[in-house]
Protein backbone atom coordinates (compact mmCIF):
# COMPACT_ATOMS: atom_id res chain seq x y z
CA UNK A 1 0.00 0.00 0.00
CA UNK A 2 1.53 3.22 -1.07
CA UNK A 3 -0.71 5.72 0.58
CA UNK A 4 -0.46 5.62 4.33
CA UNK A 5 -2.79 8.55 4.96
CA UNK A 6 -5.68 9.71 2.85
CA UNK A 7 -7.75 12.75 3.77
CA UNK A 8 -10.95 13.50 1.83
CA UNK A 9 -13.07 16.65 2.10
CA UNK A 10 -12.28 16.90 5.76
CA UNK A 11 -14.37 19.49 7.57
CA UNK A 12 -14.46 20.26 11.25
CA UNK A 13 -16.78 22.79 12.83
CA UNK A 14 -17.40 23.76 16.40
CA UNK A 15 -20.61 25.14 17.71
CA UNK A 16 -20.83 27.54 20.53
CA UNK A 17 -24.46 28.34 21.00
CA UNK A 18 -25.81 29.64 17.71
CA UNK A 19 -22.40 30.33 16.24
CA UNK A 20 -20.72 27.84 13.99
CA UNK A 21 -16.98 28.02 13.72
CA UNK A 22 -15.53 26.07 10.80
CA UNK A 23 -11.95 25.34 11.74
CA UNK A 24 -11.18 23.04 8.83
CA UNK A 25 -12.91 23.44 5.52
CA UNK A 26 -13.02 20.57 2.98
CA UNK A 27 -9.40 19.60 3.18
CA UNK A 28 -8.13 16.81 0.96
CA UNK A 29 -4.63 15.41 0.54
CA UNK A 30 -2.83 12.13 0.77
CA UNK A 31 0.57 11.06 2.01
CA UNK A 32 2.75 8.26 0.72
CA UNK A 33 4.70 5.96 2.92
CA UNK A 34 8.04 7.28 4.09
CA UNK A 35 7.10 10.82 3.09
CA UNK A 36 8.00 13.59 5.48
CA UNK A 37 5.59 16.47 5.31
CA UNK A 38 4.93 19.51 7.40
CA UNK A 39 1.69 21.35 8.02
CA UNK A 40 2.31 25.05 8.46
CA UNK A 41 0.14 28.05 9.06
CA UNK A 42 -0.38 30.85 11.55
CA UNK A 43 -1.57 30.14 15.02
CA UNK A 44 -5.25 29.29 15.04
CA UNK A 45 -5.32 28.13 11.44
CA UNK A 46 -6.40 24.62 12.41
CA UNK A 47 -3.11 22.67 12.30
CA UNK A 48 -3.55 20.92 15.61
CA UNK A 49 -7.16 20.16 14.82
CA UNK A 50 -6.08 18.56 11.57
CA UNK A 51 -3.42 16.49 13.30
CA UNK A 52 -5.93 15.27 15.88
CA UNK A 53 -8.27 14.15 13.13
CA UNK A 54 -5.56 12.43 11.10
CA UNK A 55 -4.37 10.50 14.14
CA UNK A 56 -7.89 9.41 15.02
CA UNK A 57 -7.97 11.33 18.26
CA UNK A 58 -11.14 13.11 17.15
CA UNK A 59 -13.88 12.68 14.57
CA UNK A 60 -14.57 15.10 11.70
CA UNK A 61 -17.85 16.90 11.09
CA UNK A 62 -17.78 15.54 7.55
CA UNK A 63 -15.29 13.99 5.19
CA UNK A 64 -13.03 11.09 6.01
CA UNK A 65 -9.57 10.01 7.09
CA UNK A 66 -8.09 6.68 6.11
CA UNK A 67 -5.03 5.49 7.94
CA UNK A 68 -3.21 2.50 6.48
CA UNK A 69 -6.30 1.83 4.42
CA UNK A 70 -8.63 1.80 7.40
CA UNK A 71 -11.38 4.35 7.50
CA UNK A 72 -11.18 5.91 10.96
CA UNK A 73 -14.71 7.41 10.89
CA UNK A 74 -16.21 3.98 11.05
CA UNK A 75 -14.32 2.84 14.11
CA UNK A 76 -15.24 3.02 17.76
CA UNK A 77 -12.97 4.99 20.03
CA UNK A 78 -11.44 1.81 21.43
CA UNK A 79 -10.78 0.50 17.95
CA UNK A 80 -9.14 3.75 16.97
CA UNK A 81 -6.99 3.45 20.11
CA UNK A 82 -5.99 0.01 18.90
CA UNK A 83 -5.06 1.41 15.47
CA UNK A 84 -3.05 4.20 17.11
CA UNK A 85 -1.17 1.68 19.15
CA UNK A 86 -0.30 -0.37 16.03
CA UNK A 87 0.40 2.33 13.46
CA UNK A 88 0.85 5.74 15.02
CA UNK A 89 3.54 7.51 16.97
CA UNK A 90 3.14 10.90 18.70
CA UNK A 91 5.44 13.69 19.70
CA UNK A 92 3.89 16.64 21.53
CA UNK A 93 4.88 20.17 22.25
CA UNK A 94 4.71 19.53 25.99
CA UNK A 95 6.31 16.08 25.80
CA UNK A 96 3.46 14.21 27.57
CA UNK A 97 5.61 11.75 29.42
CA UNK A 98 3.93 9.89 32.24
CA UNK A 99 5.32 11.60 35.33
CA UNK A 100 5.08 8.64 37.70
CA UNK A 101 7.22 6.19 35.76
CA UNK A 102 10.90 6.31 34.66
CA UNK A 103 12.22 7.26 31.26
CA UNK A 104 12.83 3.61 30.44
CA UNK A 105 9.32 2.59 31.47
CA UNK A 106 7.88 5.45 29.46
CA UNK A 107 9.65 4.21 26.37
CA UNK A 108 8.39 0.66 26.77
CA UNK A 109 4.74 1.52 27.35
CA UNK A 110 3.36 1.29 23.77
CA UNK A 111 4.88 -2.13 23.15
CA UNK A 112 4.03 -3.41 26.60
CA UNK A 113 0.50 -2.43 25.83
CA UNK A 114 0.66 -4.76 22.82
CA UNK A 115 1.65 -7.50 25.23
CA UNK A 116 5.27 -7.81 24.10
CA UNK A 117 7.93 -8.99 26.51
CA UNK A 118 11.68 -8.75 26.97
CA UNK A 119 11.71 -5.12 25.91
CA UNK A 120 14.33 -3.76 28.27
CA UNK A 121 17.47 -4.32 26.11
CA UNK A 122 15.79 -2.82 23.07
CA UNK A 123 14.51 0.14 25.08
CA UNK A 124 17.97 0.76 26.51
CA UNK A 125 19.34 0.71 23.01
CA UNK A 126 16.98 3.40 21.76
CA UNK A 127 17.54 5.56 24.82
CA UNK A 128 21.25 5.25 24.12
CA UNK A 129 20.52 6.31 20.58
CA UNK A 130 18.83 9.52 21.77
CA UNK A 131 21.75 10.12 24.09
CA UNK A 132 20.08 9.32 27.40
CA UNK A 133 21.79 6.03 28.17
CA UNK A 134 22.77 7.36 31.58
CA UNK A 135 19.40 8.72 32.52
CA UNK A 136 17.04 5.81 31.85
CA UNK A 137 15.99 5.35 35.47
CA UNK A 138 15.24 9.01 35.97
CA UNK A 139 11.72 10.29 36.26
CA UNK A 140 10.51 12.93 33.79
CA UNK A 141 10.67 15.62 36.48
CA UNK A 142 14.37 14.96 36.87
CA UNK A 143 15.01 15.68 33.19
CA UNK A 144 15.30 18.97 31.32
CA UNK A 145 12.81 19.86 28.62
CA UNK A 146 15.17 18.80 25.86
CA UNK A 147 15.85 15.52 27.58
CA UNK A 148 12.17 14.90 28.10
CA UNK A 149 11.51 15.46 24.43
CA UNK A 150 14.27 12.97 23.57
CA UNK A 151 12.58 10.40 25.74
CA UNK A 152 9.31 11.21 23.97
CA UNK A 153 11.01 10.70 20.60
CA UNK A 154 12.46 7.40 21.77
CA UNK A 155 9.01 6.32 22.98
CA UNK A 156 7.37 7.37 19.72
CA UNK A 157 9.79 5.41 17.52
CA UNK A 158 10.11 2.42 19.88
CA UNK A 159 6.93 0.83 18.66
CA UNK A 160 8.03 1.17 15.00
CA UNK A 161 4.94 3.13 13.97
CA UNK A 162 4.04 3.47 10.30
CA UNK A 163 3.32 7.15 10.70
CA UNK A 164 4.60 9.72 13.16
CA UNK A 165 2.65 12.83 14.15
CA UNK A 166 4.54 15.66 15.77
CA UNK A 167 2.78 18.80 17.00
CA UNK A 168 5.20 21.69 17.45
CA UNK A 169 7.86 19.33 18.84
CA UNK A 170 10.27 22.18 19.55
CA UNK A 171 7.73 24.73 20.64
CA UNK A 172 8.67 24.51 24.32
CA UNK A 173 12.43 24.44 23.83
CA UNK A 174 15.11 27.09 23.53
CA UNK A 175 16.71 27.49 20.13
CA UNK A 176 19.85 25.51 20.76
CA UNK A 177 18.04 22.58 22.28
CA UNK A 178 15.40 22.83 19.58
CA UNK A 179 18.02 22.43 16.88
CA UNK A 180 19.49 19.36 18.55
CA UNK A 181 16.08 17.79 19.01
CA UNK A 182 15.15 18.57 15.42
CA UNK A 183 18.19 16.88 13.97
CA UNK A 184 17.67 13.91 16.27
CA UNK A 185 14.07 13.61 15.14
CA UNK A 186 14.92 13.71 11.47
CA UNK A 187 17.90 11.39 11.86
CA UNK A 188 15.93 8.69 13.56
CA UNK A 189 13.07 9.18 11.22
CA UNK A 190 15.38 8.58 8.29
CA UNK A 191 16.91 5.51 9.90
CA UNK A 192 13.54 4.01 10.66
CA UNK A 193 11.94 5.03 7.39
CA UNK A 194 8.84 6.32 9.13
CA UNK A 195 6.27 8.59 7.53
CA UNK A 196 6.39 11.91 9.38
CA UNK A 197 3.68 14.52 9.70
CA UNK A 198 5.04 17.60 11.41
CA UNK A 199 2.82 20.44 12.53
CA UNK A 200 4.54 23.77 13.10
CA UNK A 201 4.37 27.45 12.53
CA UNK A 202 8.12 27.49 12.25
CA UNK A 203 9.14 27.61 8.55
CA UNK A 204 12.74 26.77 9.37
CA UNK A 205 11.66 23.52 10.93
CA UNK A 206 9.24 22.84 8.09
CA UNK A 207 12.07 23.20 5.63
CA UNK A 208 13.49 19.91 6.86
CA UNK A 209 10.59 18.01 5.32
CA UNK A 210 10.00 16.91 1.71
CA UNK A 211 6.64 18.56 1.34
CA UNK A 212 4.79 21.48 2.92
CA UNK A 213 1.02 21.88 3.33
CA UNK A 214 -0.01 25.38 4.12
CA UNK A 215 -3.18 26.10 6.08
CA UNK A 216 -4.86 29.42 6.47
CA UNK A 217 -8.22 30.01 8.08
CA UNK A 218 -9.03 26.35 7.89
CA UNK A 219 -8.34 26.01 4.19
CA UNK A 220 -5.46 24.28 2.49
CA UNK A 221 -3.94 27.11 0.50
CA UNK A 222 -0.75 25.53 -0.77
CA UNK A 223 0.84 22.10 -1.20
CA UNK A 224 4.54 22.43 -2.06
CA UNK A 225 6.77 19.50 -2.88
CA UNK A 226 10.30 20.54 -1.84
CA UNK A 227 12.12 17.31 -2.60
CA UNK A 228 11.21 14.13 -4.37
CA UNK A 229 12.10 10.95 -2.65
Task: Using CB under 5 A, list all residues that contact Mg ion.
Answer: 48
For ligand ADP, which stretch binds (CB under 6 A), given 46-54, 68-76, 141-149, 187-195? 46-54
- CA distance between the termini of the chain: 17
Total residues contacting other proteins by CB under 8 A comes to 42
Q: What's the maximum distance between 2 C-alpha atoms anywhere in the chain?
A: 56
Nearer to ligand ADP, 42 or 133 (CB): 42
CA distances from 157 to 9, 17, 127, 130, 216 (A): 30, 41, 11, 11, 30
The minimum distance between CB 219 and other proteins, in angstroms, equals 21
The three-point CA angle 33-64-58 to 5° equals: 95
Stretch 105-134: interaction string toward other proteins, x if CB under 8 A: x---xx-xx-x-------------------
For other proteins, the binding residue among 6, 11, 32, 101 (CB under 8 A) is: 101
Q: How far is the CB of 147 from Mg ion (least distance, A)?
A: 23
Cα 213 to its chain centre, rounded Å, is: 15
Q: How far apart are CA 70 and CA 85, in angstroms?
A: 14
DSSP 210: S
Query: 12, 24 in Cβ contact below 8 A?
Result: yes
In whole angstroms, what is the distance from residue 118 CA to residue 60 CA? Answer: 39
Nearer to ligand ADP, 65 or 123 (CB): 65
Q: Which of 31, 36, 41, 90 touches other proteins by CB under 8 A?
A: 90
Tell me which residue of 20, 6, 112, 21 sits closest to 69, measured CA to CA. 6
In the complex, least distance from residue 61 CB atom to other proteins, rounded to whole angstroms: 14
The contact set with other proteins (CB under 8 A) reads: 48, 51-52, 55, 57-58, 64, 70-71, 73-79, 81-86, 88, 90, 92, 94, 96-101, 105, 109-110, 112-113, 115, 139, 141, 145, 167
Amino acid sequence: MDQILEVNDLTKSFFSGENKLTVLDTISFSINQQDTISVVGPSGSGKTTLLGLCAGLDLPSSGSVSLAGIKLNALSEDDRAYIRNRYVGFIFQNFQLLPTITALENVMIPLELRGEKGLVPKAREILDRVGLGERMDHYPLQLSGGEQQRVAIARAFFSSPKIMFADEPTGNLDEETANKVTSLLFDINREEGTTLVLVTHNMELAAHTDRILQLKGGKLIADKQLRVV
